[in-house]
Amino acid sequence: MSSLLLRDVRVVDGTGAPARAADVLVQAGRIARIGRLDAGAARGLRVVEGGGRVLAPGFIDLHVHGDPREASYAGFLAMGVTTVVLGQDGSSPSGAGDGLAPWLAAVERARPDINVAALAGHGTLRRRAGIADDERVPDAAALQRLAALLQADLDAGAFGMSTGLEYVPGMYAGAAELGALGRLVASRDGVAMSHMRSEDDDRVEASLAEHIDASRPARTHVSHLKVVHGEGEARAARLLAALAAHRGAGVELTADAYPYSASYTGVGILFPDWALPPHDYAQVRAARGEELRAALEQRMRRRGGPQALLFGSGEHAGQTLAEVAARMELAFPDALLELGPGAGSAAHFVMDEALQARLMLDPHVAIASDGGPGMRHPRSTGTFARWIGDFAATGRVGLEEAVRKVTSMPASILRLPDRGVLREGAIADLVLFDPARVRARSDYLDPFAHAQGFDLVLIGGVPAFEAGEVVSRGGHVLRHRGRA
């Protein structure tokens, strides 16, 4: 634990309250005093001269990938993030195949450079329970095994459960299965997060309703809110109105979004479910090749054509599907047939910027990256810098509201105490920055460039990132202590 005084800072406390000038004293990992402190308060302490820069709670990223036992989250620290939430899209954190309890213990031993919280992944639990990927109605014994595994992960400290209903095996799960798990999550005051069944323009509201019904009575959260193929602020307003109607009916409903027009996921998302595991791809192609080709061509054209897909992993990383097809001397549907659903991950340019910006401004939508170390998408290194630099610093959203949506709001969604608000007695996860200097430096060609403008990041009162470098590995494993 360290003690330091941050002098002459502009406190933006995360609640949305107006900023105020103050000094902030940090002792024993917590915020000891906020106010104007005399010279004696600094005796024997490190003093950081704020010079009027903003001091805010550390940012909490609700949707992150990766393995903190092996990878550094320096790119996240560089944009003010102090806590990441792993276990997304129905997949428990990488390496948690035996459950969260041993995995969380291993993360603690590895001493991560950032705070780590976790969700239980429905798809991972389903496979651990011995349910076949394409089983749509598991029997009572299988559901009992599934519930027991979820209970164990919740007991270990999971903040809730994630589903990935557009991916294998989540796409095969039905209402009875998901509803039973939702009730279990609710019993522990956890949150049910989902990559929903579909984010397409003509299906997103129906997918939202399904997610809410499956979550009840658990708190419901929509991951990376978007409308694929949708356009304009008016379309965003209709989706936000649907969310508001559900909240008006008593549903505790939140979402998150990121400030980019491209998603990032496996190319398998282009393939129909009958061409995905557990089905044998070679057999599917031999038996239904022309049908599959037509389906791929139709879906890819609807998603903007082959130039709207940029590979981010595998041998074709950095190339569009159009470029790959040209090198293969094939039409793009034939290239996709050759590549198959396991060809890697890619950025999919399927979103309208005006629509996404409107979603992000809604007070019930938090900001989250959906990124991870090594991911070839600039959201992993630029999300929070773009949110502060492009939205708050330019006046599109007030600074106090911008900070609330990345601090106290995600802390409330997680039911995470003592973080997300800059107040006396809270844990000193803090970030010092000048909004006018904040800039995202990464793009799709150079997705790994760190953000600039975040000068000092503290985790538990200890400097974790300073002067552009990670300076300690002081992250903590955070565990949910919901209702027993």
Residue 1 confidence (pLDDT): 52
As averages over each run of 10 residues, the pLDDT of the chain (484 residues) reads 89 98 96 91 88 98 97 98 98 95 98 98 98 96 98 98 97 96 97 97 97 95 96 98 98 98 95 95 97 97 95 92 98 98 94 97 98 96 98 97 98 97 98 98 94 98 96 96 72
Q: How far apart are CA 328 and CA 333, in angstroms?
A: 12
Query: How many CA atoms are closer than 13 Å to the CA of 118, on its beta-carbon side?
Result: 32
Residue 38 confidence (pLDDT): 86
Residue 40 confidence (pLDDT): 80
Residue 39 confidence (pLDDT): 78
Residue 93 confidence (pLDDT): 97
Residue 483 confidence (pLDDT): 67
Entry pTM: 0.94
Number of residues that this document lists for the chain = 484
Per-position DSSP letters for 272-337, written without gaps between them: -GGGSTTS-HHHHHHHHHHHHHHHHHHHHHHTT-GGGEEE-SSTTTT-BHHHHHHHHTS-HHHHHH
- The total of other beta-carbon atoms located within 10 Å of residue 342's CB is 13
SS (H, E, C) 402-417: HHHCCCHHHHHHHCCC
Residue 41 confidence (pLDDT): 76
Query: pLDDT digits over 362-407, tens only?
Result: 999 999 999 999 999 999 999 999 999 999 999 999 999 999 999 9
